[in-house]
Amino acid sequence: MSKTEVGRKAPKLVLPSTGGERFSLAAAKGSNVVIYFYPRDNTSGCTREAEDFRDLHGAFRKANTVVVGISPDGLESHHKFKAKFKLPFALLSDEDKAGCELFDVIREKSMYGRKFMGVERSTFLVDAEGQLRREWRKVKVDGHAAQVLEAVKSL
């Protein structure tokens, strides 16, 4: 059984953050949280997704929502990515993929005919009470952040 199930309590996520401390989903209780998993810093799709969440960040904040991005990249890479694209939200480092496993986002992928295990672009919406309310898997970047914002507004 997956550790994530819409309508149930979200898994206990604690990861190192560009904010200088460890981000804890439990500590964010009282705010909605958008958790988006992406494969890698500084790739075209991941950059566009981060920019879309950045551009809508003010609207997410008005809706009492914290946005965090998670990839297996280290904090040094995240700090550079965050600075380069002026991202106003924390990026969490999941080098051992423990968070990815909690949310079941490691999937078989294929590139240039080669199969490998990697992060499937996925987003999760956790409400202010810590319940998983929505999930998006196999995310296509275009329009995704706006879809997530609409879901937040419907809570």
- CATH number of domain containing 133: 3.40.30.10
In a domain, 7, yes or no: no
pLDDT of the chain along its 155 residues, tens only? 356 788 899 999 999 999 889 999 999 999 999 999 999 999 999 999 999 999 999 999 999 999 999 999 999 999 999 999 999 999 999 999 999 999 999 988 887 888 878 899 999 999 999 999 999 999 999 999 999 999 999 99
> Which of these is catalytic: 10, 15, 34, 46?
46
Domain count, the chain: 1
Contact 90, 54 (CB under 8 A): no
pLDDT at 130: 95
Q: What is the pTM of this model?
A: 0.94
Residues 116 and 61: their CA atoms lie apart, in Å, by: 36
Q: What residue type is 110 in one-letter code?
A: S
In a domain, 2, yes or no: no
In a domain, 132, yes or no: yes
Instruction: List the domain range (segments joined by +) for residue 139.
Output: 14-153
In a domain, 101, yes or no: yes
Residues 123 and 35: their CA atoms lie apart, in Å, by: 6
In a domain, 6, yes or no: no
Residues 130 and 95: their CA atoms lie apart, in Å, by: 24
Q: Which helix (H) or strand (E) holds 135?
A: strand 132-136
Q: What residue type is 155 in one-letter code?
A: L
Would you put residue 3 in left (φ > 0), alpha (ψ -120 to 50) or beta? alpha
In a domain, 64, yes or no: yes
Q: Are strands 32-37 and 65-71 parallel, antiparallel or unpaired?
A: parallel
Residues 138 and 58: their CA atoms lie apart, in Å, by: 26
100 given a catalytic annotation: no
Contact 37, 121 (CB under 8 A): yes
In a domain, 77, yes or no: yes
CA 148 to chain centroid, in Å, comes to 11
In a domain, 62, yes or no: yes
Q: Are strands 90-93 and 65-71 parallel, antiparallel or unpaired?
A: parallel
